Structure 1
Amino acid sequence: MAKEVKKSKKKTSKKEQMTKDNRFFNRELSWLEFNDRILHEARDTKNPLLERLNFLSITASNLDEFYIVRVASLRDMASVDFEEKDIAGLTVKEQLTRIDAKTRESMALMYSTYNRSLLPSLRQENIFLADYEDLDETMKHSADEYFASVLYPIISPMAVDSGRPFPLIYNRMLNMCVMLDGEESLLSSKEHKGEKSNVNYATLQIPNVVPRLYKLVKDDGSVYFVPVEQIIKANVHTFFHGQTVVASGCYRIMRNADLDIDEDEAEDLLKEIEEQVRKRRYGKIIRLEVEDDIDPDLLEFIVSELHIRERDIFSVNGPIDLTFLSKVNSALGKESYKHLRYKPHTPAAPAMFDEDLDNIFDKIREKDRIVHHPYESFEPVLEFVRQAANDPNVLAIKQTLYRVSAQSPIISSLLEAARNGKQVMVLVELKARFDEENNINWAKTLEKAGCHVIYGLVGLKTHSKITLVVRREEDGIRRYLHLATGNYNDITAKIYTDIGLFTASESFGEDASEFFNMLSGYSIPQSWNRLIPAPILMKDYFVKKIRREAENASEGKEARIVAKINSLVDGTIIKELYKASQAGVVIDLIVRGICCLRPGVKGLSENITVRSITGRFLEHSRIFYFLNEGHEDLYLASADWMPRNLDRRVELMFPVEDPDCRKRVMEILDTELNDTIRAHFLSEDGTYHKTDLRGKIKLDSQERLIELAEEAIASRKIMNEKMEFEPQVSSEEQ
């Protein structure tokens, strides 16, 4: 038998080897590929210059969060010798090694883009991101005065010696370390390289309570931006009288920011999360960033004090932390440099609502209505909750909140509703990463106002987006619903693409009541009319739908699947899609971020096409389409095809049934599937490429969707004018 096994292994074909070992991409490396697509937008000269700065800022911010969450989690696994391989067959150590190599490659490209492309392009527009040394004497004098009057009083230099240990360095905060030489000082000398010397050290935090960039405008209109750390470095000697500054250099650390919450043991979840958020500042250091020209002795000191491994040091050729680039746009003023920005976009009035949103419940009762953000205004969502809060016929409002803005009008309406004596139940998800503190504060505010606040289910994040309004009407109690793919956040609604559905359908309303009872109590409904929740039903539902398309294709029937999602990671879903592809199902996937599925492999996934769309708006909506022998099942959801969404979160998917609403959603899918400008196509080897435009119509889906929203408003105005001026015909004339 052993010989037979050996012989069989020897004959394994390349196709069989692909099927066994290489069917999936690693999720972390796929995410880094996604971030490189954002970086591509920063490098693309067809994008307006100031928008390219924003894209580079986003790339840097994304990478920071990736490290303090995903890489930190992998480090935790490695520390306990976690041996299980991931979906792509990689161990934790192999993943960390590849992540490190890919990150260094990407960061080199980021700073090359900054130095060799963006800075020269800015200079051509008389905008200068300059070092202090590049300023003329007049500008240096102005910068020095700013240091003396503003920066000096804020900064607290921290000496490091035997009586004053190296201070706590906060996560992602920019700092400066200074090497000093001088005998006449309160600073006691410190051992350096094992020998007694007069070398002393101090560190200071670059203040984040002032803008990172100091702006100067010359008489000729040219604008100079100087990083404040450059101004501090030029004047740092003023903090250390009697000492000579030998060297100074900036550095930044990243700490593990992944919360470790034991919900089963926590007596009070809110207090437990508050404590875990506080502990973030003490998380283990996982990365150190320094300037590439930092003094070697200074670097050695920092590394020694912070106990950093050499492989965790990243040196950069430029300013540390490029997220400051997002501030250049606003610092220049809205009215200037318009040619360097996207054309201003104001969301259109929603086509399926009248411009007048008075009596919104009457409109929803007439028919289901769809709103597509940010192409259409978020105002109907705000007005829905606002009118519910003040309508004397509304008895109750129930809502789930995941991420809301700091000055949320949604929260204001819920508080007003409570003051007006309505039953208000709000699930505030305290575990929304990096929004924990904001959500804790809102939860306390809502509770004080008399709202019933719950924090979700133990072991699960509640990621669903749903609002239920219970209203007393002449014919009895009626339930009104808003269901969405994105958060109740008026700020992100201007830049994230999401879809919301308003309905007064009784079957939807019954499910909504059951859903909220499930969240607040112990009841799990045995059946559902319209809503498909996770984690109890959604994954199996998707598998069933995919398998049905595969069966139809096997029987020679036309079969098709289209899914628009943020990420595709779930192994079960991917395997089912592979089987469907092999059966002949045509599968189009629009996956903005991570995609572990390998498309285009003969005999495995040759019928699957994966595209990712990046542009001025962040693609966030989740849409699912199944041909179903011409019945065309169409769904919207809050969930992606990821284990965390399908297995560890409370999510909702819901069908789009109204013909007009279905037409709108299909229009969105068709537009994105025909994108030839913003779409990046995933290749079999894991790289992405733009389509060859020769012989193709140039279509930017996001710009086209802006046009469609505007065209819909123009068409509605024409229809309204026609109805207004069309003479009525009497029955006798007929």
Structure 2
Amino acid sequence: MTNNLKFDYDNPDYYDNREVSWLGFNYRVLQEAEDTRNPLLERLGFLAIGSSNLDEFMMVRVAGLQDQHYMGANYVDSKKQWSPDEQLAEVSRVNKANVTYQYQLYYQLIKECEEHNIHFISIHEASQKEWSKIKDFYYQAVFPTLTPLGIDAYRPFPNLNNKVTHLFVHLYRNGEEQTAIVPIPPLVSRYYHYQENNHHFLVPVEEIIQAFIHDMFKGYEITSSFFFRVTRNADLDIHEDGAEDLLAVIEDYLIKRRNGRSVRLEVDTRTKHPEVLADDIDYLTRQLELKERDVYLINGPLDLTGLNEAIDDLEAYYPNLTFNKFTPVYPKELQGTNVFKAADKKDLFFHHPYDSFQPIVKFIQDAASDPDTIAIKQTLYRVSNNSPIVQALKTAAEHGKQVTVLVELKARFDEENNVQWAKVLEEAGCHVIYGKTHLKTHSKIAMVMKLKHGKLKRYVHLGTGNYNDKTARIYTDMGIITTNDKIAQDATDFFNYLSGYSKQPEYHYLHVSPFDIRDTYMEDIDQEIKQHKKYGNGHIIAKMNSLTSKRIIKKLYEASQAGVKVDLIIRGICCLNPGIPGLSENIRVISIIGRFLEHSRIYWFNNNGDEKLFLSSADMMTRNMIKRVEIEFPILDADIRKELKAILNVYLDDNIKARYKLPNSHYAYVRNDDTPVDAQMVFATKAEIERQDPRSLQTSHKKWLNRIQSHLATKKNK
């Protein structure tokens, strides 16, 4: 039913602020640490993920807002119309509540650990028997790595490293007070782990340092000490204009980033009440040029990413406290043949991590050694440290094949890694390019060209995720391999566009940002509105990581007002508010956070039964639409479209991990009386069944979902 009410689409009440919405996402990550359906060590892991996420958020997003504040810029958030100061104030308020919740969970979980004979203890709780071993460990493995930094007229306040925990020390001798700072080396193990009577004990190394630090300041009395941590701006501009060598520009940028402006100060208040520390906190705040809103007083150990080390130490002893081992299935259509022979027959679809990533690796490896291969072209955004794909590209070049690789040097926090890979590939004889000025190339595409019997055959892989064999085990992503002539021609034009001088090509099937993905998506929404007005069956489903583009949100509001049903599966940021009467009441938003990081992007339109379905490297974010080179590609194979629609339905049926967004911007768990569905568990079980009997699953959503539910029930009863 069409809604004729008039709404001001610029009303700030209809949107969420991007940064505050992200904090809501990180809160949902922390909720996984509270979810007792997750194994205990995995719950600790979610606390670590929350801290890691937050570090990056502070270094990039908060840093950017602070830059605007210091420049006196009058930029306002396009959705809430907030100034940088208003955003920083709200971020501080919401984030401090998140951090309080995180540490409540931390103490709850370490108490639960005690029930399994795992004890996170202070050094003063260590047994007398172990004390001498701890002392030996300190003097042999830790003390030599420490460097005290005195502060006086001859030694000014030091440049403290990003994300490193420091010990602030007050000293006294002969009526004089002195101050020193001792950085805790990040490469030293976070915990001293020992066992006694089948109990495991973990002592934080920073507390061991604090206990023995007096030996570093002989002749002085240590009157007090406490821990603090500084986070710095990593969102520095890369000056590309006129650069003759982008590699050199990036290397210079990496050096400058280490000394970025301070954006956050965290202080451990367990040993000293904040009032006692007030003068010291004020001193650090002034030296670091921070404001009160940037200071976080924490009643607990700083930097909970260190919990990952504890989990690594413990998981061999407590496999029952971690997720059951999951082994991806090698796709049945590739068993007994290679990727290229299978792709000659039909398009191939991959759903990682449930489907093994190995066929994608083999796609490049086999091409590198095949005499028929004449050229390989590929984009690389983030790759693993010992990437087999990079090794295969090197091999191909060494075998005389033409290899063109776009290495994105501006992939945040992977710049240094990518600089090194670019040099390695160039040395091997690959033609390495770095993309377009002022744009990041975030596309995931690889093309292999073979000359068979005098005829050129092109094989194209398109995906939603990186060519990274490590993250492919924990990120949910999708991709296809196709020999479709028009897609292959589009791929050829795309690589020529990146490596040469030409305007954006006219593609047959690919939609390529900047702008084209956004514009065609909005056209598809308009078409769905038109079809709905005629046939009454309008329906849009979109799965992505984040939705921030105001132009797309407005268009989705238009669709809802026209009566089109809109289902959005958005893991992270969502600036759209669903369920507003008359405006967005036909829009449903759910977020799924679980064992695997939901990373695939799927866009589906009913189109009166003539379905349109696309996969993409792009989220519907402003940056993806106008500041990146992204690819959206159609699914042309009917069987793959059918499977993808079934996958979308499983996500929409999730009533275990899914949360739905309320009109007030909060999220609540989906709870109903339907058959329990945990989407990620469904896909993992489907892979397990397929591994046991490749013929046992039908492509019908209902049939294979029922088969999986029966399988899970059988396992539970056993």
* TM-score normalised by the chain length of structure 1: 0.91
Per the TM alignment, residue 554 of structure 1 is displaced from its structure 2 partner at its CA by 1.9
Structure 1 SS opposite 2:334: coil
User: Are residue 280 (structure 1) and residue 244 (structure 2) matched?
Assistant: no
Partner of 2:305: 323
User: Are residue 637 (structure 1) and residue 621 (structure 2) matched?
Assistant: no
- Any residues of structure 2 matched to 1:176-195 within 5 Å, and which? 176-183=167-174
- Relative distance call for 1:306 and 1:505 in structure 2 (3 A) is same
Report the AA paired with residue 237 of structure 1. Answer: H
1:307-365 deviation per Cα after TM superposition (whole angstroms, max 9, x unaligned) = 4433322110110111111222211143x2122111111111123422x4x53211111
Partner of 2:82: 90
Report the AA paired with residue 517 of structure 2. Answer: M
Per the TM alignment, residue 78 of structure 1 is displaced from its structure 2 partner at its CA by 1.4
Per the TM alignment, residue 139 of structure 1 is displaced from its structure 2 partner at its CA by 2.2
Per the TM alignment, residue 712 of structure 1 is displaced from its structure 2 partner at its CA by 2.9
1:449-504 deviation per Cα after TM superposition (whole angstroms, max 9, x unaligned) = 11100111001100000000010012600000110000000010000000010111
Report the AA paired with residue 547 of structure 1. Answer: D
Partner of 1:713: 691
Partner of 2:325: 344
Partners of 1:578 and 1:718 in 2: how far apart? Answer: 42
- Any residues of structure 2 matched to 1:2-17 within 5 Å, and which? none
- Any residues of structure 2 matched to 1:18-417 within 5 Å, and which? 20-86=11-77, 87-115=79-107, 117-183=108-174, 198-218=176-196, 220-292=197-269, 293-294=271-272, 296=277, 297-334=279-316, 336-354=317-335, 356=336, 358-417=337-396
Partners of 1:648 and 1:34 in 2: how far apart? Answer: 23
Partners of 1:545 and 1:284 in 2: how far apart? Answer: 44
1:25-55 deviation per Cα after TM superposition (whole angstroms, max 9, x unaligned) = 1110000000000010011122110000000
Partners of 1:246 and 1:16 in 2: how far apart? Answer: 64
Partner of 1:189: none
- Relative distance call for 1:599 and 1:333 in structure 2 (3 A) is closer
Report the AA paired with residue 125 of structure 2. Answer: D
Partners of 1:456 and 1:346 in 2: how far apart? Answer: 36
Report the AA paired with residue 200 of structure 1. Answer: Q
Report the AA paired with residue 347 of structure 1. Answer: P
Per the TM alignment, residue 691 of structure 1 is displaced from its structure 2 partner at its CA by 1.7
Partner of 1:467: 446
- Any residues of structure 2 matched to 1:527-542 within 5 Å, and which? 527-542=506-521
Report the AA paired with residue 696 of structure 1. Answer: D
- Any residues of structure 2 matched to 1:575-654 within 5 Å, and which? 575-654=554-633
Confirm or deny: 8 A CA contact 2:690 2:696 kept in the other structure: no
Confirm or deny: 8 A CA contact 1:585 1:607 kept in the other structure: yes
Partners of 1:393 and 1:350 in 2: how far apart? Answer: 25
Report the AA paired with residue 324 of structure 1. Answer: G
Partners of 2:291 and 2:627 in 1: how far apart? Answer: 34
Report the AA paired with residue 284 of structure 1. Answer: R
Structure 1 SS opposite 2:478: strand
Q: Output the aligned Cα RMSD.
A: 1.7
More divergent stretch after superposition (287-296 vs 386-395): 287-296
Structure 2 SS opposite 1:716: coil
User: Are residue 700 (structure 1) and residue 678 (structure 2) matched?
Assistant: yes
Confirm or deny: 8 A CA contact 1:177 1:250 kept in the other structure: yes
1:702-722 deviation per Cα after TM superposition (whole angstroms, max 9, x unaligned) = 000011122333442679xxx
Per the TM alignment, residue 301 of structure 1 is displaced from its structure 2 partner at its CA by 4.3
Report the AA paired with residue 167 of structure 1. Answer: P
Larger radius of gyration: 1
Structure 2 SS opposite 1:74: helix
Structure 1, gaps ≥5 residues long: 1-13, 184-196, 720-734
Partners of 1:301 and 1:125 in 2: how far apart? Answer: 43
Partners of 1:371 and 1:352 in 2: how far apart? Answer: 11
Partners of 1:60 and 1:436 in 2: how far apart? Answer: 22
1:167-198 deviation per Cα after TM superposition (whole angstroms, max 9, x unaligned) = 22100011111111113xxxxxxxxxxxxx51
Partners of 1:259 and 1:351 in 2: how far apart? Answer: 47
Partners of 1:125 and 1:224 in 2: how far apart? Answer: 11
Partners of 1:483 and 1:611 in 2: how far apart? Answer: 26
Structure 2 SS opposite 1:203: strand
- Relative distance call for 1:135 and 1:526 in structure 2 (3 A) is closer
Confirm or deny: 8 A CA contact 2:535 2:608 kept in the other structure: no
Confirm or deny: 8 A CA contact 2:167 2:183 kept in the other structure: yes
Report the AA paired with residue 322 of structure 2. Answer: R
Confirm or deny: 8 A CA contact 1:351 1:709 kept in the other structure: no
Partner of 2:533: 554
Partner of 1:193: none
Partners of 1:302 and 1:246 in 2: how far apart? Answer: 18
1:46-85 deviation per Cα after TM superposition (whole angstroms, max 9, x unaligned) = 2110000000000011111101100000011112222232
Partners of 1:158 and 1:325 in 2: how far apart? Answer: 27
Structure 2 SS opposite 1:555: helix
* TM-score normalised by the chain length of structure 2: 0.93
Report the AA paired with residue 209 of structure 1. Answer: L
1:283-320 deviation per Cα after TM superposition (whole angstroms, max 9, x unaligned) = 11111111114452544443454344333221101101
Confirm or deny: 8 A CA contact 1:353 1:369 kept in the other structure: no
Per the TM alignment, residue 526 of structure 1 is displaced from its structure 2 partner at its CA by 4.4
Structure 2, gaps ≥5 residues long: 698-718
